[in-house]
Amino acid sequence: MKFFVDTADTEEIRELADTGLLDGVTTNPSLIAKSGRDFFEVIKEICDLVEGPVSAEVAATDYETMIEEGKRLAGIAENVAVKVPLTMAGLKTCSQLSKAGTQVNVTLCFSAAQAILAAKAGATYVSPFVGRLDDIGQDGMNLISDIVQIYGNYTSLQTEVLVASIRNPIHIVNSALMGADVCTVPPQVLKQLVSHPLTDKGLAAFLADWEKTGQKILD
């Protein structure tokens, strides 16, 4: 499974990229707004920090403007994945950009039917939002299971399942069990993956025992 981080905070991205665990980045208009910085400047900086895909989202809702925005975003860097909403205009934009060799992330997917259309349109990634489905009393992970199963039925489909709106480490583990290709994760949730009280307890015991020996590995 690949890990993308869902943020526009370049310091967070730099820290996580240094671990070697980061495969890409996703952003959206809300995250860019939170940064308070120039949109193009942020996307370019992120693209320079990571080798993997960086999702940059269009702001238009009509096809004509969306396709022009998509082309401009794709021109920022080779690793930009243009992010479009799962609407008819978004799917049309996805189809045209994909045919031109641009990576496209179709976002705001909330049903398996929508995911089928994204794959038909040639999306590089489809982003089903599990947390937002959980918020309205539905089981977001059921959607991931359905999409993975459907895509697996057709070897010609190359679209990767990018699990989004992740709220906790269990979402990530369950996504991996189901065979999802990518999880895009808020930085704090990604850091939670490493934490376990027994790891902390075991490390403390090892360090205490080592101190008793009076030895050092480095002088």
Instruction: Report if residue 120 sits inside a domain.
Output: yes
pLDDT at 21: 94
Report yes or no: 106 and 125 within 8 Å, Cβ to Cβ: yes
Instruction: Report if residue 218 sits inside a domain.
Output: no
- Total domains in the chain come to 1
Report yes or no: 59 and 29 within 8 Å, Cβ to Cβ: yes
Closest by alpha carbon to 94, among 115, 86, 116? 86
Q: Which residue has the tokens 């705001």?
A: 108
Instruction: Report if residue 112 sits inside a domain.
Output: yes
Q: What is the mean pLDDT of each run of 10 residues along the chain (219 residues)?
A: 97 95 94 91 97 97 98 98 98 98 98 98 98 97 98 96 97 98 96 95 97 94
Q: CA of 76: how far to CAs of 70, 83, 88, 140, in Å?
A: 10, 14, 25, 33
Instruction: Report if residue 184 sits inside a domain.
Output: yes
Domain CATH number, residue 177: 3.20.20.70
pLDDT at 5: 98
Instruction: Report if residue 93 sits inside a domain.
Output: yes
Question: Beta strand pairing status for 54-57 and 80-85?
Answer: parallel
Instruction: Report if residue 113 sits inside a domain.
Output: yes
What range defines the domain where residue 45 resides? 2-213
Instruction: Report if residue 219 sits inside a domain.
Output: no
Catalytic residues: 83
Helices and strands in the chain: count of H runs, count of E runs: 11, 8
pLDDT at 109: 98
